[in-house]
Amino acid sequence: CFSLKISWLTYCFSGLACSEVFTRIVPEMQMLSQGEIVVNEANFVRKCISAESCQDDLWGKLVCTNFKVSFITHNSLPRQRFQCTHRLLGEHDIPLACVEQVVTVNDVKGKQKILGSNQKLKFNPTELILYCKDFRIIRFRFDEAGPESAKKVCLAIAHYSHPADPQLLFGFEYVGKRYHGSTGERMNGIDPGGGMQTTLFDCSSDWDREIKRTGASEWRVCTINQGYFISPSLPEFFVVPVSLADQDLKQYACFFYSQRIPLWCWNHSSGSALVRMSNISDPQQQRKVEQRISSAITKSHPLRSDVFKSDLDKNLPNIQDIQAALLKLRQICVIDPFEESEEKWLSSLESSRWMEYVRTFLRHAVEVVYMLESRNVPVILLEKEDRDLSCVISCLVQLMCDPHCRSLHGFQGLIQKEWVMAGHRFLDRCNHLKKNDKEESPVFLLFLDCVWQLWNQYPAAFEFTEVYLTVLGDSMWVPIFSTFLFNCPRQRAENSRFGVCKMFECFLKSLMFTKAWDWSQQFSLKDQTLFNNPLYVGKIATCVQNGTVKTFTHRRSKKNYSSTLRGLPSALRNGSLGPNDTLARRNSLVLRLRSDLSQVREQQETPSERFIRDFFSRPVDLQGLLLPQLLPSHLSVWKLYFLRWVPEAQIPQGGPITAFHKLSVLTDEIDMLQNQLRQYKGAGGTPNNLHAEHSKMYFKATSTPHQPPAPPEYLSSSFPFSPVGNLCRPGILGSPLSKFLNGAKIWLSTETLANETI
Distance CA 37, CA 103 (A): 24
Residue 675 is labelled as binding a ligand: no
What is the DSSP pairing of strand 379-383 with strand 273-278?
A: parallel
Are 414 and 309 spatial neighbours (Cβ–Cβ below 8 Å)?
no
Are 416 and 199 spatial neighbours (Cβ–Cβ below 8 Å)?
yes
E strand or H helix that includes residue 59: strand 58-65
Return the closest-CA partner of residue 318 out of 442, 426, 451.
442
- In this predicted structure, the answer to whether residue 746 has a pLDDT above a threshold of 70 is no
Return the closest-CA partner of residue 379 out of 286, 282, 446, 312.
312
What percent of the chain is modeled with pLDDT above 70? 72
The pTM of this model reads: 0.84
Cis geometry, peptide bond prior to residue 302 (ω within 30 degrees of 0): no
Are 596 and 631 spatial neighbours (Cβ–Cβ below 8 Å)?
yes
Q: How confident is the model at residue 273 (pLDDT cuts 50, 70, 90)?
A: very high
SS3 240: strand
* Residue 288: partners with Cβ closer than 8 Å, 6 or more residues away: none
Distance CA 440, CA 431 (A): 5
Tell me, what's the pLDDT at 335? 67
Distance CA 128, CA 183 (A): 44
Q: How many CB atoms lie within 10 A of CB 534?
A: 23
Which region holds residue 41: left if phi is over 0, alpha if psi is between -120 and 50, else beta? Answer: beta
Q: How many residues make up the chain in this entry?
A: 758
Chain centroid to CA 213: how far? 24
Distance CA 349, CA 375 (A): 36
Tell me, what's the pLDDT at 281? 87
Query: From start to end of 416-477, where are the E strands?
Result: none
Q: Alpha carbon of 207 to those of 273, 331, 639: distances in Å?
A: 15, 43, 37
Which region holds residue 598: left if phi is over 0, alpha if psi is between -120 and 50, else beta? Answer: alpha
Q: How many CB atoms lie within 10 A of CB 143?
A: 12
Tell me, what's the pLDDT at 115? 92
Distance CA 564, CA 695 (A): 41
* Mean pLDDT score across all residues of the chain: 80
Chain centroid to CA 738: how far? 27
What are all long-range contacts of 469-474, with beta carbons under 8 Å and residues at least 24 apart? 469/641, 470/640, 470/641, 470/644, 470/721, 471/522, 471/523, 471/531, 472/448, 472/516, 473/134, 473/444, 473/445, 473/448, 473/641, 474/134
Q: What is the set of domains in the chain, with CATH numbers?
A: 38-162 (2.30.29.30)
Q: What is the pLDDT of residues 282-292, one digit of tens each?
A: 888 889 999 99
Q: How many CB atoms lie within 10 A of CB 227?
A: 9
Q: What is the pLDDT of residues 578-604, one digit of tens each?
A: 434 333 333 333 334 444 545 544 557
Instruction: Characterize 714-744 residue by residue with b for buried, 16 or more Cβ atoms within 10 angstroms of its Cβ, and e for exposed.
Output: ebbbbbbbbbbeebbeeebeebebbebbeee
- For helices 443-457 and 389-401, give the axis angle rounded to 10 degrees: 20
Q: What is the pLDDT of residues 651-682, one digit of tens each?
A: 888 888 889 999 999 999 898 888 888 888 87
- In this predicted structure, the answer to whether residue 167 has a pLDDT above a threshold of 50 is yes
Distance CA 595, CA 113 (A): 54
Are 154 and 121 spatial neighbours (Cβ–Cβ below 8 Å)?
yes
Asked which of 41-45, 242-246, 339-343, 639-643 is least confident by mean pLDDT, the reply is 339-343
Are 480 and 170 spatial neighbours (Cβ–Cβ below 8 Å)?
yes
Are 394 and 382 spatial neighbours (Cβ–Cβ below 8 Å)?
no
DSSP 713: S
Residue with the larger pLDDT of the pair 513 and 440: 440
Gyration radius of the chain's alpha carbons: 27
Alpha helices in 73-216 (DSSP H): 147-160, 170-178, 204-214
Are 164 and 434 spatial neighbours (Cβ–Cβ below 8 Å)?
no
Cα–Cα–Cα angle for 756, 757, 758, nearest 5°?
130
Asked which of 129-138, 507-516, 540-549 is least confident by mean pLDDT, the reply is 540-549
Distance CA 307, CA 304 (A): 9
Residue 66 is labelled as binding a ligand: no
Alpha helices in 47-200 (DSSP H): 147-160, 170-178
Residue with the larger pLDDT of the pair 299 and 718: 299
Return the closest-CA partner of residue 380 out of 480, 477, 279, 467.
279
DSSP 479: T
